[in-house]
Structure 1
Amino acid sequence: MWTLLQFPLCPFSRKVRIVLGEKGVGYDLVRESPWLQRDEFFDLNPARETPVMVDEERGVVLVDSTAICEFFEETVSKASLLGGTAPERAEVRRLVTWFDAHFYRDVTAPLLHERMLKRIVHKQAPDAGALRAAMKAAVSHLDYVDYLLDHRTWLGGATMSFADCAAAAQISVAEYLGGIDWKGNEQAKGWYVRMKSRPSFRPLLSERMEGIVPPAQYEALDL
C-alpha cells in the first residue's frame, strides 16, 4: 500500500493527489510538515520537500511531484494524463513547469510564506505589500489561463492532462489563502469549477490547515 507524506496546503502534493484520484490509486495520507526538518523525513528526501510516496512492502520511495505523476502514468493505464503526439506531450510538460515553477514562485509561495509559515512557524504578521503583489500576479496568471482556454478545451489540449492537475493544485492553495479574485476571468473560473467538481478533487476541498480558515466560496461550485 502506498503512503503519501504531505501537508494540506502543499500544492505539489495536491497535484499528485488529483492524479492518483483520476487513476484510482489507493494510498494512505501521512501528515508531514517540512519546516520541522525531521531526520526521518530527511532520510526519505534530502531536499526536505513534500510530496514523498512510499511503498514499504516493495521498498519503493518516490520523490518530486512530477516524477511521481509520471511514475503512475507509466504504471497505471487508467485515465492517461500525458497522451497524444510527442509535440502534444511536450506542451503538457511545458505547462506543468509553468504552473509548478512560475505560478508557484509568483503566487503560491509568497501566499504560503505570508499567510501560513509566518503564522505557524515565525509567529509574525503577514506583509500587506507582499500579499498585494501575489494577488496582482495571480490576475496575470489567470489571464494566461483564459488565453489558453480561448484555443483549447483543457489547458494542455483537447483532453484533461497533467497541466490541468498542476494548475488546479496551485490555484486551489492560492484560493484557500485568499489570493484569487475571479472577476474578469470567466473562462478560467469555468474551467476551475469543472476541476473542483471532479471526484478526484473534492477530497482536497474538505481539508483544513490548522488556524487558517479559507474564504466562504472555497468549496463552492458556483463561484
Structure 2
Amino acid sequence: MWHLFQFPLCPFSRKVRLMLGEKGVGYELVRESPWLKRDEFIDLNPAGQTPVMVQGQVTLCDSNAICEYFEETIDKAPMLGGDAAARAEIRRLVAWFDERLYGEVVGPLMSERMLKRLVHRTSPDAKALREAMKNANNHLDYIDWLLDHRRWLGGPVLSLADLAAAAHLSVADYLGGIDWRGHEQTKQWYSGLKSRPSFRPMLSERMEVIGPPAHYDKVDFLE
C-alpha cells in the first residue's frame, strides 16, 4: 500500500490525490506538516516539501514526478494523452497552474491565512490578500478563455491540466480567496470536477482552526 505524506491544504498533494483517484490507485494518508521540518521527513525528501509517496523501498517526491510515475505505470484513465503536441500543451498548463496560479494566488493565501495563523500567530496582511484575490480573478479570466475554446482545459478530454487547476483553486476557495461572480464558465467546469468521486473526499476534510466558506463543499455552490 502506498503512503502519501501530505496536509489537507497542500495543493500539490491534492493534485496527486486527484490523479490517484482517477486511476484507481489505493493509498493511505499520512499527515505531514512540512514547516515542522521533521528529520524523518527530510530524510524522505531533502526539499522538505509535500507530497511524498512511499511504498516499500520506493520513495517518490515532487507532484509532477509522482503524477508522471502513475501515468507511466497505470494504463487506466490517461491524464497525459494525445500526440506529442497535445501532451506538451497539457504540461504547459500544469506548469502554469503550479507556478503562476500558486505563486500569485494560492501561495500568498496560504501564507497569510494559514501559516500566519497556525505557525507565526500573527494577523494576515490585508494588502497581500487583496492582491492575491485580484490575481485570482485574472486567472479565472484565463480559465474562462480556455473553456471558451476547449471542452476541458488541456483539450477535448479531462487531463492533468484540469486536475492541477482544480487542486489549486480548491485551496484558494477554502481560504476564501475566490470570487466566482462573473465566471460562469469556470464555475460550471469546477462544479463538474467537484462532483467526481476522486474529488469528493477532499471536500470533507478540514484544516485545524481554519474553516472554509459555506459554499466550499457544495457542488452547486449554494450556501
TM-score range normalised by the length of the shorter chain: over 0.9
Residue 70 of structure 1, aligned match among 68, 79, 88:
68
Question: Are 1:92 and 2:105 an aligned pair?
Answer: no
Partner residue in 1 for 2:199: 201
Aligned equivalents of 1:135, 1:151: Cα separation in 2: 25
* Residue of structure 1 aligned with 2:181, choices 177, 180, 183: 183
What is the Cα deviation at residue 176 of structure 1? 0.1
TM-score by length of 2: 0.99
Q: Provide the rounded CA distance (Å) in 2 between the counterparts of 1:190 and 1:98.
A: 21
**4+ residue runs over 3 A deviation:** none
Question: How far apart, in 2, do the equivalents of 1:109 and 1:207 lie?
Answer: 19
Q: Over aligned residue pairs, what C-alpha RMSD do you find? A: 0.4
CA apart distance, 1:89: 0.3
Q: In the comparison of the two structures, how many residue pairs are matched?
A: 221
Letter in 1 for 2:194: K
User: 1:34-183 residue pairs with structure 2 within 5 A?
Assistant: 34-56=34-56, 59-183=57-181
AA paired with 2:68? E
CA shift, 1:3, in A, is: 0.2
Superposition deviation, residue 169 in structure 1:
0.2
Distance 1:172 1:46 in 2: 27
Per-residue deviation at 1:132?
0.5
Q: Establish whether residue 32 from structure 1 lines up as the match of residue 15 from structure 2.
A: no
- The aligned amino acid for 1:85 is D
1:128 positional shift: 0.6
- 1:112-152 per-residue CA deviation (whole Å, 9 max, x = no partner) reads 00000000000001111100000000000000000000000
One-letter amino acid matched to 2:30: V
The alpha-carbon deviation at position 221 of structure 1 amounts to 1.1
Q: Which amino acid aligns with 1:13?
A: S
SS in structure 1 of the partner of residue 25 of structure 2: coil
How big is the shift at 1:23? 0.2
What is the correspondence of 1:9-20 to structure 2 with a 5 Å cutoff?
9-20=9-20
Cα distance in 1 between the residues matched to 2:220 and 2:40: 42
Measure how far apart 1:213 and its partner are.
Answer: 0.6
CA distance in 2, matches of 1:43, 1:185: 43
State the alpha-carbon separation in 1 of the partners of residues 83 and 149 from structure 2: 18
Instruction: Determine helix, strand or coil for the equivalent of 2:219.
Output: coil
> Deviations for 1:51-110, whole angstroms, at most 9, x for unmatched residues?
000002xx0000000000010000000000101010000000000000000000000000
SS state at 2:28 partner: strand
2:213 aligned partner: 215
Unaligned residue ranges in structure 2 (runs of 5+): none
**Matched residues in 2 for 1:67 and 1:173: separation?**
21
Listed one character per residue, the Cα deviations across residues 6-44 of structure 1 (whole Å, up to 9, x for unaligned) are: 000000000000000000000000000000000000000
- Residue aligned with 1:193, SS: helix
User: What residue identity is the alignment partner of 2:184?
Assistant: E
Secondary structure at the aligned position of 1:217 is classed as: coil
